[in-house]
Chain A
Amino acid sequence: MGTDEKDKLFKDLYDAIVIADTDKALSAARKLVYDFHVDVQELMNRALLPAMKHVGELYERGEYFIADMAMSADTFNAIMKEIIEPILGSNKETSGSSKRIVAVFGTVQGDIHELGKNLAKAYFMANGIDVVDLGVDVPAEKFVEAVKQYNAVIVGASALMTTTREEQKAVIEALRKAGLRDKVIFIAGGAPVTDEWVKEIEADVNGSDMFKAFEKVKELLRARGYATS
């Protein structure tokens, strides 16, 4: 089992994520982890993160559509779920997970449209953020509980409908009441979100575009002293 073979497997994994070939990606990732004893950090840094970043670039260049990104995100999530999370789960104490940056994502109460949230989750995870997914129709208090439970520093509350966008305000209010508002970076996500709306509800990040949102989150994290990739 030489270095060449290992390098080839990394390349295969990278390519498989970019073209969204889940079977091939899982097979390469398994070999790297179980045969070459590659650790999670190396797997993330050498294949998963750069592959997702390249997917993002392909989108930016107009070569990829959203559907292409969604496919790659599925492949990425499959590796996270089947390979990385079980390992992280088994050595929680030693993986240094306490240092990781945690975000809680969910769609606001009354809104069950989760496509955008799921894509953003994949992209954030691809960029090294631990995303706790609260699912859909999440009441404001649930966001607050999750921030406490997971010691989260990012909250992403998304709303697809113009009528449910209002609930983002309620989440911010609940965080404020719990004394957590200043602790977290609040992303107001979803198509109807605009810069004016972000200003009005005193959110931190306009999440209508996940790429721009992530850049902004990174900037805010750095300002708060967190190391980001």
Chain B
Amino acid sequence: MPRPSFYLLSRDEIELVYSKALEVLSTVGIKIEDELVKNFLESNGGVKKDDRTLIPEELAKEALKKAPKTFDLYDRDGKYIATLGEGANIFAPGSAAIYIIDHRSKDVRPPLLEDLKNAVIITDYLKNVDAQSTMLVPDDLPTQVRDFSRLYVVIKYSKKPVVTGAFTVENIKFMFDMMKVIRDDFNKRPWAIFDVTISSPLSWSKITARNLYDLAKEGIPAEIISMPQLSATAPATVSGGLLLHTAEVISGIVIAELVSPGSPIIYGGSTAVLQPRYGIPIITAPESVLLSLAYAEIAKYLRLPSHTYLGLSDNKIIDYQAGAETVYSAVLAVLEKFDIISGPGMLENELTQSLEKLILDDEVVGIAKRIAKGFSLSADELLQDIDEIKDGINKRHFLSSPRTRKLVREFHAYSIFDITARSAWDKKEVHDKAHDKVLEILKTYTPTMLDKDLIKRVEEVYASAWKYYNLGNPKLV
């Protein structure tokens, strides 16, 4: 069956980068800002050198052997969604935006908890964006509770799996407690994936190091995200960025697998080029995209599930540039067969989310996945085609055949892109149609809410976390 695929690196090139990355880890090592994790690594094979920790090659290789090659992802209610590690192409909205384009006024402003609820409901509705993310940082909540409050909203309003993460050491435990309410087997049949980011070059902050440690202890999937910015936090060459990225992700895998052998991890990243003039990270810059595609092939070589930030735009508004950046990066990501692709809805260097763009990106994701699926081709089918052609030349068309009638239903069904003839066109631009769709969904769609008793129990955990910070009654939505 013809299926488009994409290869960038030869096996020799992959092995060269991999071996050099191990060399970086064993000679340069990593800096861990958290004493507990640093001591843990150094008493389990890591070698202390000044304020850094070296990772001997054998230690890294052993850890890589222990990481699961595949694991299954479920939804909140325990239904199987996909096997990660086989190129699942699961799309999730770009996460942790600190701005939203207000879908009524079109202004850009900090998001509120209510916006997150709306974004979760829209994403729940979407057909092609398979997962949720804790995509907005609600500005109307006290700083201390912003991370776990987001998970509460997702759990309540959608059954889709979720890509999430904590901003603090303490709060990840409240997030685990909320998940435990839903299902005892929340770690055996996971529906939440936690992002942990390493700070390039080769540095684990206290928060992310400890988050990774705690996730491994609980056996919850950790998406290890290295974020090299070419020319700024990484060498200016794509190959140098690849080398650094490889070393960084492997360092996270070593920590996770030493804490708990067999702990599920995802080989992730969010690459960028630091725009040389304006100093902002351009995620969809061609060199950045090449870097992402290349590290996916290292992940495949190591036989590990992979993740990226693509299928998004760096522009500030939804326009030609936003569409172009989103489409080429989404299509390349599916062809590279990433397991998790974070991006839909996102604009402006991963700062801004838009509900309209979520709707438009769902179409892009659908088309990208359809292209990735390829098409079927067999001798039997070609025989049927010969019969069709014989009929067709008599009728001078292929429309009125039972086979056509069946197959046209399998063509990509457009949900929002304009595919009408000019005569039938309602003169609306696709962005305005997306806006109408947002309003319609928020008015009429019933999301896959959590069972009432469980909501009550999740809200009890949620309230206990607010109480922990002496913040009074929690803000519910």
Nearest CB of B to A192, in Å: 6
Q: Does the CB pair A170–B98 fall under 8 Å? A: no
Number of A-B contacts (CB under 8 A): 59
Write out the residue numbers on chain B whose beta carbons fall within 8 Å of the beta carbon of A197: 110
Q: Can you offer 7 A-B residue contacts whose CB atoms are under 8 A? A: A67-B236, A112-B33, A112-B205, A163-B167, A165-B98, A169-B143, A196-B110
Q: How far is the CA of A113 from the CA of B199 in the complex (A)?
A: 7
A113 touches B233 (CB 8 A): yes
> Which of B252-260, B271-279, B289-297, B370-378 lies at the interface with chain A?
B271-279
**Nearest CB in chain A: distance from B302 CB, A:** 26
Q: Chain A, 123-139, contact with B by CB distance < 8 Å: what is the 0/1 string? A: 00000000000000100
In the docked arrangement, what's the CA distance between A66 and B236, Å?
A: 13
- Which residue of A is nearest B197, CB measured? A161
Q: Which of B110, B206, B280 contacts A137 (CB 8 A)?
A: B206
Q: B277 touching A65 by the CB < 8 A rule? A: yes
Interchain CA distance A65-B96 in the complex, whole Å: 29
Known: A67-B276, A110-B206. A115 touches B96 (CB 8 A): no
Interface residues of B in 75-134 (CB under 8 A from A): 96-98, 109-110
Interface status of A111 (Cβ within 8 A of chain B) = yes
Tell me whether B351 is interfacial, beta carbon within 8 Å.
yes
**How far does the alpha carbon of A161 sit from the alpha carbon of B96 in the complex, in Å?**
10
Instruction: List residues 157-210 of chain A with CB under 8 A from any CB of chain B.
Output: 161-167, 169-170, 191-192, 196-197, 200
A137 x B205 contact (CB < 8 A): yes
Chain B residues within 8 Å of chain A by Cβ, number: 32
A101-148 interface with B by 8 A CB criterion: 110-113, 115-116, 137
Q: How far is the CA of A164 from the CA of B203 in the complex (A)?
A: 16
| Centre residue among A112, A164, A200 by max chain B CB count within 10 A | A112
In angstroms, Cα B274 to Cα A184, docked, is 31
Using CB atoms and an 8 Å cutoff, list the residues of chain B in contact with chain A: 33, 96-98, 109-110, 137, 139, 143, 146-147, 167-168, 197, 199, 203, 205-207, 231-233, 236, 274, 276-277, 279-281, 349-351
* A137 vs B273: C-alpha distance when bound (angstroms): 24
Contacts A137-B33, A192-B98: A111 and B205 contacting too (C-beta < 8 A)? yes
CA distance A93 to B395 in the complex (A): 102
The reply to whether the CB of A96 lies closer than 8 angstroms to some CB of chain B is: no
Query: In the assembled complex, which residues on chain A have CB atoms less than 8 Å from the CB atom of B109?
Result: 196
By the criterion CB–CB under 8 Å, are B137 and A163 in contact?
Answer: yes
Say yes or no: is A2 at the interface (Cβ < 8 Å to chain B): no
Determine whether A62 belongs to the interface, using a CB cutoff of 8 Å to chain B: yes
Q: Tell me the minimal C-beta distance from A206 to chain B in angstroms.
A: 14
**Contact (A110, B207) CB under 8 Å given A192-B98, A200-B110:** yes
CB distance from A135 to the nearest CB of B (A): 11
A37-67 interface with B by 8 A CB criterion? 62, 65-67
CA gap between A165 and B146 in the complex, in Å = 12
Complex Cα gap A161–B146 (Å) = 14
Taking the closest CB of chain A, its distance from the CB of B275, in whole angstroms, is 8
| Cα A165 to Cα B349 with chains together (Å) | 15
Cβ–Cβ < 8 Å partners of A163 in chain B: 96, 137, 147, 167
Known: A67-B236, A110-B168, A115-B232. 12 other contacts (CB 8 A): A65-B277, A66-B279, A110-B207, A112-B199, A112-B203, A113-B199, A162-B97, A166-B143, A166-B167, A191-B279, A191-B281, A200-B110
**A113 to B358 alpha-carbon distance, docked (Å):** 30
- Whether B277 contacts A66 by the Cβ 8 Å rule is yes
CB < 8 Å: which of B233, B274, B276, B351 contacts A192? B351
Nearest residue (CB) in A for B109 is A196
Question: Once bound together, how far apart are the Cα atoms of A141 and B334, in whole Å?
Answer: 47
**A162, B96: Cβ atoms closer than 8 Å:** yes
Identity of the chain A residue whose Cβ is nearest the Cβ of B203 in the assembled complex: A112
What residues on B are CB-neighbors of A111 within 8 Å? 205
Query: In the assembly, what is the distance between CA of A200 and CA of B205, in Å?
Result: 27
Q: Which residues of A have CB within 8 Å of B279?
A: 66, 116, 191
Contact A191 B205 (CB under 8 A): no
CA distance A111 to B167 in the complex (A): 10
Q: Report the minimum CB–CB distance from A97 to chain B (whole Å).
A: 30
Would B351 and A65 count as touching, CB distance under 8 A? no
* Docked CA distance A197–B143 (Å): 14
Which partner residue on chain B sits nearest A115 by CB separation? B232
Note all chain A residues with C-beta closer than 8 A to B33: 112, 137
Given A66-B277, A113-B199, A191-B279, A166:B146 Cβ within 8 A? yes
Whether B199 pairs with A110 at a CB distance below 8 angstroms is no
The residue that A62 contacts in the complex, of B98, B277, B280, with Cβ under 8 A, is: B277
Give every chain B residue within 8 A of A200 (Cβ-Cβ): 110, 139
In the bound assembly, the distance between CA atoms of A191 and B348 in angstroms comes to 11
A71 smallest CB distance to B (angstroms): 12
Bound: A163/B135 CA distance, A: 12
